Structure 1
Amino acid sequence: MVTAKVARVVLPDHADQKYGHGLLSGLLEPGTYAADPGDGRPWRPLQPPEPEEHGVRLQTYCITGPPDRIGIAPGDVRGTVFIPDRLGGCCCGWDGQDGPNLACAECGRPVATRVDDCGFWQAVWLEADAVRPVAVAGPVQRVMGWEELPRTPPVGQRGYWSPQWEAAVAVALAHLVVVSGGERVVVPDGPVAVALRRAIDILLPPGLPERHLGLAGPGLPATSEIALVPRHPQTGELWPCEAGAVVPLAADVWTYLAFHDERRLVPAAYGMPAGVRRDDPPPLLPNSLFRPGGQVFLNTLKRLTVVQPPWLQRICDRVKDRPYADPFW
């Protein structure tokens, strides 16, 4: 056994995201695992370039790996040892660029890669051809109902947008661009507009014809031509609806967009004690415009479209050629 008992969940949208230069938390919750299907392209291990004349080489990043890898939380790995000559890293930890760096403690076969360098979500990736699932006695994981969907706030304590939000919205944006057919999409006012309107207005052409986007899900019927629906965090199932087109969004982000009320209570005269007003914290406000993750957006487009029509290819080329331009920077 090389893992503790784990239950399957959906691969998070930020699995292949590189974010900032600080240490990030775990990609997956303890006791869970997720399969990475890859992006459909042939995969080859990263080959480090030859040193330059003065012994300096360009640092590159290899976030994705071979298809069908199994991701788990680092604390759930069992019975493995490090492979000393494969512990290459960039700064604060291991980035997995030298291939599997964990071996089975009994047979010595490489079985997994631990990634915990700065800017990478911490995880252990099991090699698909080195492990197999084993049934374990005990209670079966309970699948949460749609009314129990989690909720993740968009802004952290320091005023920065959540990187999970940037990745999840980037994935939804890629789906939305594809189903738009290259036509303008009208985004409703409110939190959805904060997340998507600016990007859509930049990427898609203005003018008629136009299509309309709206939220649909538990408690919200589909009323627009394109429905933004939650994706179940455990099963990956999309909320069923009869809209003409469906755009999936991570459940914890969807729930916040659908049901979070930004309005604050205003105390009526003599109706609220001063201590209550003092202890009521102000809402967390962002210190910049929201920007989806550009690389996550491009990676998702590659998974969605094998052959891209000319209008979509132009969008891809624009984002590739100008990765630090609006709406991604």
Structure 2
Amino acid sequence: MDLFVCAGCGTELSVPVERVALPVEAHYGGGHRWMPPLMEPGTYAVDPDPWARAWLTWEEIGEAGAAALGVHAPVHTVPTGPRDGIVLAPGDTRGTRLLPERSGPSCLGVVAGDAPNLVCAGCGLGVGFREDDCGVWQTVRYGPEAVVRRSLGVPPPAVPVRPLPPIDPEGGWDMRWSAAAGAALARLLAASGGRALKLPGGLPTELFGRSVARLLPAGPPFLTVGLAGPGLPGGDADIVLVPADRRTGAPWRPAGDAVPVPLPGPVWAHLVGPGETSPTPVSGTLPAQVLRDDYPLPEHPGYGFLPDRATLRRTLSRMPEVRRPWLRALYDRI
């Protein structure tokens, strides 16, 4: 576990937190609606990409300049701000003051502007940015130069993976599933080599089927896609959907030659075994083998699923494989 303190005066700026991988939905835009905290309580992540502030168009930065920042295909704008921002849930921060007058253009909350809108309560040093506007995840981003990480020498608690149902509290497709599917689809397309894919039946086909049919040729022959992970070998599939490591984001490695495509652990866990997924927890425990029957959500939204296109394009643009002519042509079609 770690603790963040002000680089100027040592004021504690967080509760003890555990480092985990940056969620794939971190750059998902939610439109004109309320967004919850991005990070789980008690966790933080480091965003390796440049973020906010200075934005340059593709024409301004050029292909070589964009590639140096990890962008390998044309995008509208490229952020050139600081890298390695520390991302936390706002509720896990301490010892700061919010300066709302430093917010950038916003709608119903605050967003990052040109200067830090969070300052240390001890010395006034600008330490980061708070965002909570509509359409953006609620986050605090500390600048790596403004804070110091102190290791507490305490191992993080074991956290079981809880399946995340694909339906949100409003009865639509959960936006975290949309973002996860967009990132996974980018890697499925790259792994396909431009060939047809045969998806497993059920929810995986619902997630990717329409996009794969639109973007890749029809078969046969096919490359087969399966599910693999702890306790699930994946059979003879050519490409396997696997869980990403919670702390590193690295995909679970299958034993054979299948190409792994990572999904967030909670999404993968639902795909392989939904189990009990009631979104309204109750106190106490239920007897073994007893499931609740008061789910308030529909079994299925009234519209089809599509992976988030912005996440798909963003993921592809940051994969060196997008330089391959066939994948670049596909990227330009999306």
Shorter-chain TM range is 0.7 to 0.9
Which residue is 2:161 aligned to?
149
What's the % identity of the aligned pairs? 40
Q: Which amino acid counterpart does residue 225 of structure 2 have in structure 1? A: L
Alignment of 1:70 onto 2:86: yes
Three-state SS of the structure 1 residue aligned to 2:188 is: helix
Residue 166 of structure 2 is aligned to residue 163 of structure 1: no
1:219-274 deviation per Cα after TM superposition (whole angstroms, max 9, x unaligned): 21121011111112234242221233111111111111111379xxxxxxxxxxxx
Q: 3-state DSSP class of the match of 1:88? A: coil
Q: Any unmatched runs of 5+ in structure 1?
A: 48-59, 263-275, 320-329
Deviation per residue, 1:264-287 (Å, 9 max, x gap):
xxxxxxxxxxxx9x9565852211
8 Å CA contact 1:80, 1:102 repeated in 2: yes
Select the residue among 236, 241, 263 that pairs with 1:228.
241
Opposite residue 326 of structure 2, the aligned amino acid is W
d(CA) in 2 for partners of 1:23 and 1:64?
27
What is the rounded CA distance, in whole Å, between the counterparts of 2:45 and 2:25 in structure 1? 12
Would the aligned equivalents of 2:33 and 2:135 in 1 still touch at CA under 8 Å?
Answer: yes
C-alpha separation in 2, matches of 1:101 and 1:34: 20
Report the counterpart of residue 299 of structure 2 in structure 1.
284
Report if aligned partners of 2:190, 2:321 keep a CA contact under 8 Å in 1: no
- Asked if structure 2 preserves the Cα contact closer than 8 Å seen for 1:231 and 1:251, the reply is yes
Task: Please name the residue that 1:255 is paired with.
Answer: 269
Separation in 1, partners of 2:77, 2:175: 18
- The more displaced of 112-121 and 97-106 is 97-106
* Change over 3 Å in CA distance of 1:307–1:155 after alignment to 2: closer
Q: 1:172 aligns with which of 176, 179, 184?
A: 184
Q: Report which of the two structures shows the higher radius of gyration computed on alpha carbons.
A: 1
Instruction: Identify which range, 16-25 or 101-110, moves more after superposition.
Output: 101-110
Larger relative contact order (CA 8 Å, sep ≥ 6): 2
Task: Quote the Cα distance in structure 1 between the aligned partners of 2:324 and 2:95.
Answer: 49
Structure 2: which 5+ runs fail to align? 1-11, 57-75, 277-289
Alignment CA distance shift 1:296-1:165 (3 Å) = same
Shift of 1:108: 2.2
Q: Decide whether aligned partners of structure 1 residues 207 and 306 sit closer, same or farther in structure 2, where only a CA change above 3 A counts.
A: closer
Question: For residues 66 and 298 of structure 1, do their structure 2 counterparts lie closer, same or farther at Cα, with a shift above 3 Å needed?
Answer: farther
Counterpart residue identity of residue 143, structure 2: E
The CA RMSD measured in Å over matched residues stands at 2.9
Match of 2:59 in 1: none
Give yes or no for contact 1:11–1:36 (8 Å, CA) kept in 2: yes
Q: Say if 1:222 and 1:243, in contact at 8 Å, map to a contact too.
A: no
1:140 — aligned with what? 155
Greater Cα shift, 206-215 or 287-296: 206-215
**Cα distance change on mapping 1:84 and 1:22 into 2, 3 Å:** closer
TM-score, L = length of structure 1: 0.79
1:38 and 2:52 are equivalent in the alignment: no
Q: Contact 2:90/2:130 (CA < 8 Å) preserved in 1?
A: yes
1:324 aligns with none
Aligned length: 288
Cα distance in 2, alignment partners of residues 279 and 26 from structure 1 = 29
Show CA shifts across 1:59-110 (max 9, x none). x999995321110010122222233541234211012143421122233221
C-alpha distance in structure 1 between counterparts of 2:102 and 2:298, whole Å: 46
Q: Distance in 1 between matches of 2:271 and 2:39?
A: 23
Q: 1:29 and 1:16 mapped to 2: Cα distance?
A: 16
Q: Secondary structure of 1:67's partner?
A: coil
Tell me, in whole angstroms, the C-alpha distance in 1 between the residues paired with 2:52 and 2:294: 52
Alpha carbons 1:104, 1:111 under 8 Å: kept: yes
Point out the more displaced range, 87-96 or 108-117: 87-96
Map of 1:299 onto structure 2: 314
| Contact 1:89 1:95 survives alignment (8 Å) | yes
Moved over 4 A (4+): 60-65, 278-283
Residue equivalent to 1:309: 324
Retained in 1: the 8 A contact 2:163–2:274?
no
Residue 230 of structure 2 corresponds to: 218
What is residue 82 of structure 1 aligned with on the other side?
98
Query: Are the aligned partners of 1:16 and 1:64 in contact in 2 as well (CA < 8 Å)?
Result: no
Paired AA for residue 255 in structure 1: A
Q: Provide closer, same or farther for how the CA distance between residues 284 and 66 of structure 1 changes in structure 2, counting only shifts above 3 A.
A: farther
Within 2, Cα distance between the matches of 1:84 and 1:215? 46
| Alpha-carbon contact 2:185-2:208 (below 8 Å) kept | yes
Question: Taking structure 1 as reference, are residues 255 and 64 closer, same or farther at Cα in structure 2, changes over 3 Å only?
Answer: farther
Aligned AA (1:162):
D
Taking the TM superposition and a 5 Å limit, the aligned residue runs for 1:165-204 are 165-204=177-216
- Contact in 1 for aligned 2:194/2:326 (Cα 8 Å): yes
